[in-house]
Amino acid sequence: MCSPKWAAASTNAETEITCLPNGRWPANIVVPSCRPICTIPCVNGAKCTAPDTCTAPDSGCNPGWNGAGCTNDVDECLTDNGGCSADATCTNTAGSRTCECNAGFTGTGLTCADVDECLTDNGGCSADATCTNTAGSRTCECNAGFTGTGLTCTDVDECLTDNGGCSADATCTNTAGSRTCECNAGFTGTGLTCTDVDECLTDNGGCSADATCTNTAGSRTCECNAGFTGTGLTCADVDECLTDNGGCSADATCTNTAGSRTCECNAGFTGTGLTCTDVDECLTDNGGCSADATCTNTAGSRTCECNAGSTGTGLTCADVDECLTDNGGCSADATCTNTAGSRTCECNAGFTGTGLTCADVDECLTDNGGCSADATCTNTAGSRTCECNAGFTGTGLTCTDVDECLTDNGGCSADATCTNTAGSRTCECNAGFTGTGLTCTDVDECLTDNGGCSADATCTNTAGSRTCECNAGFTGTGLTCTDVDECLTDNGGCSADATCTNTAGSRTCECNAGFTGTGLTCADVNECLTNNGGCSSSATCSNTVGSRTCACNAGFTGDGVTCTDVNECLTNNGGCSSSATCSNTVGSRTCACNAGFTGDGVTCTDVNECLTNNGGCSSSATCSNTVGSRTCACNAGFTGDGVTCTDVNECLTNNGGCSSSATCSNTVGSRTCACNAGFTGNGVTCTDVNECLTNNGGCSSSATCTNTVGSRTCACNAGFTGNGVTCTDVNECLTNNGGCSSSATCTNTVGSRTCACNAGFTGNGVTCTDVNECLTNNGGCSSSATCTNTVGSRTCACNAGFIGDGVTCTASAGLSSCSGTTAGGSLWQRTYGGLPPTSYVPNAEYVYKTLTFRALVGGAVQFTVTGTTGWDTYLHLHNYPFNAATPLANVIAANDDYNTVSVSSFNVNIVAGNTYVLVVSAFNAYTSGPYTITSSPSTSIVGICV
């Protein structure tokens, strides 16, 4: 046995040997040698040369270590950077060193190659910048069309300067690094140059086919043609017929046409349509009436009325049928037959009597009225009805039994059987049900003797029957059930390490020897649970079926029963990170990240200062981690050293990149762009809003909305006045009669006016021509009168020998003839003589003379008398025939008390066509006269009558 702090040199040798009785070692025993024991294991290549003494071997300590006990770490980095690349950082470790390429380089550390940062994510430069690789780093420069640090690049809005070089008639749209030019609507070209498009050349510029398109710069206007109305984009035909029947005759039909109208006289009228005359249908073939009828002409038609003794529509007339009134006096149950001048009465079938009176015959009294024996006969006036009794069907004359069971099971329960009988049916509940047959209730068979099922089965009631099902653990029809031996299948569900025993309707499970559990589940007895199964305390005991295995834990080596600590740090730095220090512990090792790194030692990550309080950078800056430190750079929209950052007001430069039609509002770190009123877009690009597309731009529905840049204008349409937002209809008729003829009536309409020629004129209203009424029916004048056309009318004057208003003329007594019209102003000039009748003036010394004339037109006429006399003279006007006692007017022509020459006049209203008498009376026939009488106007006088 070795001395204390010594152990057998071989781990397989016994540590205690028993000597033979003779005091010698057994011949087959090799006496082992002893080795010293070092309580603290030797490391780094040192050997245990004496108890608790580690000595460096002659061959030297493991690489990276020196000293008497190989415990002094060699700092390899102090010589030639530890053999690392000049672009790497050498870090001394226990017994070795690590080489890690510097930021911007990659490799093993022994060799390092420059990392081309530009190959990954453009080197962190802006996507709008060019990355250029440098030794260990890179530079960033914004591309053409962009500005910034290179890390951040902002697009340059070329459109803000001189419209980006685009045409003034084009829209410049900024793009990333450039701009596009697109000619505005209504222009064509490259955008750099734009030419006005004549929209009218294509599809009439989108105007209505009934409108005139006029090209304008960048657009066009649309105006509806004459006879149409609308916006010009849409034009609706003006229906002239809606106003004054389109100028057509009231007896004509006006038909609207595109841009105009046609007039056609209605049926029963003839003419041009502008004027229509009634047709007298009665003049031809009695107007189509019966020869026994009177035809009467009406406006546009005629009526026909049968003469006395005939009746009908007038188109046809027939003899009066007495039977048509009150059945000719016959009984209501008789038939009246018309005869020439009379009628006959005969009782109808089913009635008896004289025909004037008829009594009903009751047919049911004989042979049930001919009805079926299964029917009921009911007498009716003049006949009888037959109706099959309940339970029968047919005409009543023949009746057949109804099989009620064919419909809805005859009203029986659905669980009953319906049986047809003569005139009825019976209902009987089916087997398994009980009740009247009209209603049936299910019988629950399971209530009696388990429904006939096996005692090992469950009985379930069903409609009209029951089912039997064997209980769990039994099999069969349900009427008979046999126990199932569950153990025959899958060991009865017991564990594979258990024994299954069948029982009535079930089974039992019991774990086999060496196992424990319920029998359904059985677990092996785990020897490892007691004293670790005899394994080393540094080993893991693994239970096996009926035994166990011992395996040294990680960090130990041996057979599991005996385990020795392994120094993990000797190999690959113990699995620690190259940026960590490995320290051996009993059964394991610890890894501690070096200064400037954090982690569990196995994995060490550079400390990212940016994760805490943004690395001390401004909250408006981006913190970028570096090996052992960090950098701060103000974010886009801010300026400063990164630790302190101030917001940049982007709006102060180039309107912040917003559209010139937008408002730039500075925000913290950025800006917002909002298109101004009248524009739409994202603010960077703003397009003029065409307000006219929505609700006519807020303009009046009677106005034209014209889009302008950022707004719109409203102009009232033709026929309206106002500011465009509010438009009032213009009454065109108030000015120059609306452009209508002076012989027409102008009627204002919404947005326009209509012109209709006045009565006595014809035309379209703008142009009206006088109608010569005298050409038709003598202008409505009497056939004994002369019709004279006037502007817009006519005058009627009774011919010589007739008196009246011209429309009505009566032959005059004592008026034989009238001469032609007097052409001048002098109506009468002569010297008078003779005595007047005593009834005319009170003084018999007076003389008088008369002049008879006919008026051409009615109205006010002035008569003037000029006389030279030394005596009193008078002028009188009378109706014809002359009655001296009733003058219409009179005036003194001369008065010898005042002067010898007198001009006197009077005004009087005369009626066209009437005949009048002028009378001059004077005191001395021998000294009176001559006298001159004139009229104004002179055309009022037709002529002199004698």
Which one is predicted more confidently, 128 or 342? 128
Burial of 785 (0-12, 13-18, 19+ CB in 10 A): buried
Span 551-564, mean pLDDT? 86
Closest CA to 253 of 238, 269, 231, 237: 269
Task: Please write down the long-range contacts of 622-625, taking CB distance under 8 Å and 24 or more positions apart.
Answer: none
| Residues whose CB is less than 8 angstroms from the CB of residue 871 and which lie 6 or more positions away in sequence, other chains included | 894, 896, 922, 923, 924, 927, 928
Q: What is the pLDDT of residues 663-705, one digit of tens each?
A: 999 988 888 999 998 888 898 889 888 989 889 989 998 899 9
Which of 408-417, 516-525, 865-874 comes out lowest in average pLDDT?
Answer: 865-874
Q: What is the pLDDT of residues 417-431, one digit of tens each?
A: 999 888 888 999 988
Span 422-449, mean pLDDT? 88
Which of 204-218, 251-265, 861-875 comes out lowest in average pLDDT?
Answer: 861-875
- Write down how long the chain is: 946
Percentage of the chain lying above the pLDDT 70 cut: 83
Domain boundaries of the chain, sorted by first residue: 818-945
Residue 695 contacts residue 675 (beta carbons within 8 Å): no
Span 56-76, mean pLDDT? 85
- How many other CB atoms sit within 10 Å of the CB of residue 897? 6
- Predicted pLDDT at 817: 35
Q: Please give the single-letter amino acid code of residue 562.
A: T
- Supply the DSSP symbol for 463: T
Distance separating alpha carbons of residues 555 and 565, to the nearest angstrom: 6
Burial of 945 (0-12, 13-18, 19+ CB in 10 A): buried
- The answer, yes or no, to whether residue 202 has pLDDT greater than 60, is yes
Closest CA to 634 of 651, 614, 652: 614
- Predicted pLDDT at 501: 92
Token pair 């020795």 in the structure block, residue: 564
At 893, is the pLDDT very low, low, confident or very high (cuts 50, 70, 90)? low
pTM of the entire predicted model? 0.27
> Any idea which fold 818-945 has?
Jelly Rolls (2.60.120)
- Predicted pLDDT at 617: 92
- The answer, yes or no, to whether residue 845 has pLDDT greater than 50, is no
Residue 534 contacts residue 550 (beta carbons within 8 Å): yes
Closest CA to 524 of 532, 514, 534: 514
Q: Locate 449 and state its tokens.
A: 């003797």
- The answer, yes or no, to whether residue 906 has pLDDT greater than 80, is no
Give the ranges where 335-387 is alpha helix by DSSP (H).
none
Q: Please give the single-letter amino acid code of residue 448.
A: T
At 785, is the pLDDT very low, low, confident or very high (cuts 50, 70, 90)? confident
- The answer, yes or no, to whether residue 815 has pLDDT greater than 50, is no
Q: What is the pLDDT of residues 123-175, one digit of tens each?
A: 889 988 999 998 888 899 998 888 888 888 888 888 988 898 899 899 999 88
- The answer, yes or no, to whether residue 585 has pLDDT greater than 50, is yes
- Supply the DSSP symbol for 818: B
Q: What is the pLDDT of residues 793-811, one digit of tens each?
A: 889 888 765 677 888 877 5
- Predicted pLDDT at 213: 93
Reduce the secondary structure of 589-630 to three states and give it as a string. Answer: EEEEECCCEEECCCCEEECCHHHCHHHHCCCCEEEEEECCEE
Distance separating alpha carbons of residues 158 and 178, to the nearest angstrom: 7
Q: What is the pLDDT of residues 486-523, one digit of tens each?
A: 899 899 889 888 899 988 888 899 888 667 889 899 88
- The answer, yes or no, to whether residue 93 has pLDDT greater than 60, is yes
**pLDDT, averaged across the chain:** 81
